Homo-oligomer: A and B are copies of this chain.
């Protein structure tokens, strides 16, 4: 992995992925006690950065590839489905049968063949490998794929071009670490004063723990508010990059996540999903753990459960001002 791969991916997805704006509000600055710049990646096609990595990976497939297979409960699924449709490739998406219905429906509506499996009884990775082999499909891993990481890195190139600033922390919502690693590689080359820091929900801080331990540490797999980023461990490809380039991980509470969603709605007119709001939550409610006069938070959307979104809107910011 290097900056040339990220530049090449950015060139391939140019004119397809949106360049998303860096937004701010004096009201958010006041909450955080410093200037907060929000990279509004929820405005990307399909509502999340996953489209970038998907389009980058699918456009790098060898000639003759006819279709792809991806495992995802939502955002990667839709990114791959849309990119495949645009590039004339078949897409099969393996989704857990208990995934939110709206994510299953959206993925199918984008032209993918959705195959569901039972999380409790099926080894997803074995099923995926078997099916990919049997049907001649290229498996597109959601984060441990160099071209996916390179595509997500285009977010970092945009940040470097948009933010002309003193050294600062760049907070990134972190599941398997594809987005975090991609941004870190891009900023290492183009804005080395910006330090990338992964942000995770309380109880699911495998990346923070892995960075502290210097080796991959796993979380038990279980459900939580921030479903989009509850990967049990950083990836084999992503962890060495995170370990080499990223600052200590940050952890936020569910109350802080809901308050960040409410503030993004009110002050930025943006709809974030819980997993896409953790970085903004850290920027707003963990001021002592962040360095610099300005902080950048990457925010993403995806499919937001309506009841959770309404719960967030009713959530008071005051509830979030306790240590995570």
Residues of chain A having any CB pair with chain B under 8 Å? 18, 20-21, 23, 26-27, 40, 42-43, 47, 82, 106, 109-110, 265-266, 268-272, 301, 303-304, 306, 309-310, 313-314
- Could you say which residues of chain B place their CB within 8 Å of the CB of A309? 265, 313
Quick one: closest B residue to A47, CB to CB?
B269
30 inter-chain pairs at a CB distance below 8 angstroms, sorted by A residue, are A18-B21, A18-B23, A21-B43, A23-B43, A26-B82, A26-B109, A26-B110, A27-B106, A27-B109, A40-B43, A42-B269, A43-B268, A43-B269, A43-B270, A47-B269, A265-B271, A265-B304, A265-B309, A266-B303, A266-B304, A269-B270, A269-B271, A269-B272, A269-B301, A270-B270, A270-B271, A306-B313, A306-B314, A309-B313, A310-B313
* Given A266-B303, A269-B304, 19 further pairs, Cβ under 8 A: A18-B21, A18-B23, A20-B21, A21-B21, A21-B43, A26-B82, A40-B43, A42-B269, A43-B268, A43-B269, A265-B304, A265-B309, A269-B270, A269-B271, A270-B271, A271-B271, A309-B313, A310-B310, A310-B313
The 9 A-B pairs of least Cβ separation, nearest first, read A269-B301, A269-B271, A42-B269, A265-B271, A47-B269, A310-B310, A306-B313, A269-B270, A43-B269
Q: Which B residues touch A272, using CB under 8 A?
A: 269
- A42 vs B301: C-alpha distance in the bound complex, in angstroms? 17
A23 to B68, CA, bound (A): 27
Question: Which chain B residue shows the least CB distance to A110?
Answer: B26
A83 to chain B, nearest CB (A): 13
Distance in angstroms from A38 CB to nearest chain B CB is 11
Least CB distance, A226 to chain B, in whole angstroms: 17
Closest to A265 in B: B271
For A313, the chain B residues whose CB sits under 8 A away are 306, 309-310
Q: How close is A69's CB to chain B, nearest CB, in angstroms?
A: 22
Residues of B within 8 A of A265 (CB): 271, 304, 309
Q: A270 CA to B270 CA in the complex, in Å? A: 5
Chain B residues near A310 (CB-CB < 8 A): 310, 313
A102 and chain B: residue at smallest CB distance: B266
In the complex, chain B residues whose CB is within 8 Å of the CB of A23:
18, 43
Bound-state CA distance A27–B45 (Å) is 11
**Docked complex Cα distance between A109 and B313 (Å):** 21
Which B residues are in CB contact (< 8 Å) with A303? 266
With A and B bound together, what is the CA distance between A270 and B265 in angstroms? 8
Cβ–Cβ < 8 Å partners of A42 in chain B: 269
Q: Give the chain B neighbours of A301 by CB distance below 8 A.
A: 269
Contacts of A106 in B (CB 8 A): 27
Chain B residue with Cβ nearest A44: B269
* Across-interface contacts of A43 in B (CB, < 8 A): 21, 23, 40, 268-270
**Nearest-CB distance from A55 to chain B (Å)?**
15
Q: A33 to chain B: closest CB distance in Å?
A: 16
CA A313 to CA B265, docked complex, whole Å: 13
Residues of B within 8 A of A27 (CB): 106, 109
